[in-house]
Amino acid sequence: MNQANKNDKSRRKFLQKLGVAGASAVAGSALLLQGCSDSNKSSGNKVKVLTADNKLVEVDVAHLKPGDKIQDLSYLQERGREGIPGKKFVMVVDLAKCKNARKCMKACQSAHQLKPEMHHLNVLEMEDPVRDTSYWMPKTCQHCDNPPCVSVCPVDATFKRQDGIVLIDNERCIGCRFCVAACPYSARTFNWTEPKNSEEFAEVTYDMELNVPQKKGTVTKCAFSADRVREGKLPYCVSACPNGVYYFGDQNEDLVTNGTTKKTVRLSALLDNNAAYTLMPELGTKPSVYYLPPRESKG
């Protein structure tokens, strides 16, 4: 009796599982087919998208479906933690070219819902009292390969991804500001008040790659524009710069692209030929942001 009961149960379970698997397979293939449906109407407007296997493909805008996934918080959370496989993003800042246009800051603040006094990226004036000169130095989060902020976070709200980007999940952040204290580069800032235009963003699903909508009582910082990078576009600051200060790219490819001229150069050659340095290397944080000294350099 017992045996028969057990068998019956397991059969029922098996059938249930089969049903679920079958339904999901049908739904999945339907979705896939829908995604692939080649409607003959093409707008001629092409966008670049990154496929699941990390290939950049050009897709016609008409063929894109407004993804329900993009509204799904759990999907966005998973994607944000996961990162982009096979990449390691780096930035090179050519100090010789920076003229304090501050276009990068403007682009960054408008993208990340930041008030004027809050900076993910700040252009600082570095003074040399001996020679009585100064130069401009844009400073972002360094996306360290040995990030002190991540070690001190008690709730795993700030983390490093496989592509080297350090992000914050403000759904988990408890606002303790340990990371602010731990960061030697003062790259992090805190939402003491309601963020800019918070009413407008009330209904928006939180995307940690963009870190919008911002939340009062949480820490925020530069995210290397992870949302843009996922689409194969250069970060907001990099493409906004009028003076060709920023190079951005993938260390694994050994290629970095200048945001202004779109010229792509070998990263290793750029760093070696121009005596590149990182900020506070003695701390062993291994930054992913390199600086070229403030002199005329060949880039």
Partner 1 sequence: MKNIKQYRLIILFCLCFLAVANVNAQSDWPVPAKENENMSPFLFDDDMVLEGRISYENSCTSCHGTPGQDDFTPMAPPPGDPASDQFQLQTDGALFHKIKMGRGSMPKFEDAFADDELWNIVAYIRSFNKDYKQPLPNMEGVEIPEYSMKLSFDDNIDKLVVKVFAKNQPQPEVSIAAYVMGTFGKYLLGKSQTNELGIAYIDVDPTMPGDEEGKLSVMVKASKGFGRAKMNEEMVMVEPTIRKSAIEGRHIWSTDKMAPVWLKVSFFITVFGVWFVLLFIVIGLRNINKANKEEA
Can you give the binding site for partner 1, defined by CB under 8 A? 44-45, 56, 85-88, 101, 103, 145-148, 150-151, 156, 159-164, 232-234, 239-244, 248-250, 252-257, 260-266
User: Rounded distance, CA 233 to CA 236, Å?
Assistant: 9
User: Rounded distance, CA 54 to CA 285, Å?
Assistant: 28
**Residue 24 CB neighbours (<10 A):** 10
Which is closer to partner 1, CB of 93 or CB of 234? 234
Which is closer to partner 1, CB of 17 or CB of 286? 286
CB of 84 to partner 1, least distance (A): 9
Which is closer to partner 1, CB of 252 or CB of 297? 252
Which amino acid is present at 80? G
CB of 256 to partner 1, least distance (A): 8
CB of 200 to partner 1, least distance (A): 23
SS3 per-residue string spanning 227-244: HHHHCCCCCHHHHHCCCC
Which is closer to partner 1, CB of 137 or CB of 150? 150
CB of 176 to partner 1, least distance (A): 16
Q: What are phi and psi of 244, to 5 degrees?
A: 70, 30
Helix, strand and coil content of the chain, in percent to the nearest 5, comes to 30, 20, 50
Q: What angle do CA 148, 278, 212 make, to 5 degrees?
A: 55
Which is closer to partner 1, CB of 211 or CB of 239? 239
**Residue 121 CB neighbours (<10 A):** 23
- Residue 23: HSE in the Cβ half-sphere, 13 Å Cα cutoff: 6
CB of 131 to partner 1, least distance (A): 25
Which is closer to partner 1, CB of 38 or CB of 53? 53
Instruction: Give whole-number Cα distances, 41 to 33, 37, 60, 67, in Å.
Output: 17, 11, 10, 19
Sort strands 56-60 and 255-258 into parallel, antiparallel or unpaired.
Answer: unpaired
CB of 225 to partner 1, least distance (A): 12
Which is closer to partner 1, CB of 210 or CB of 234? 234
Which is closer to partner 1, CB of 134 or CB of 268? 268
Closest to 49 in 3D by CA, of 20, 84, 17, 75? 84
CB of 233 to partner 1, least distance (A): 8
CB of 165 to partner 1, least distance (A): 8
User: Rounded distance, CA 72 to CA 7, Å?
Assistant: 39
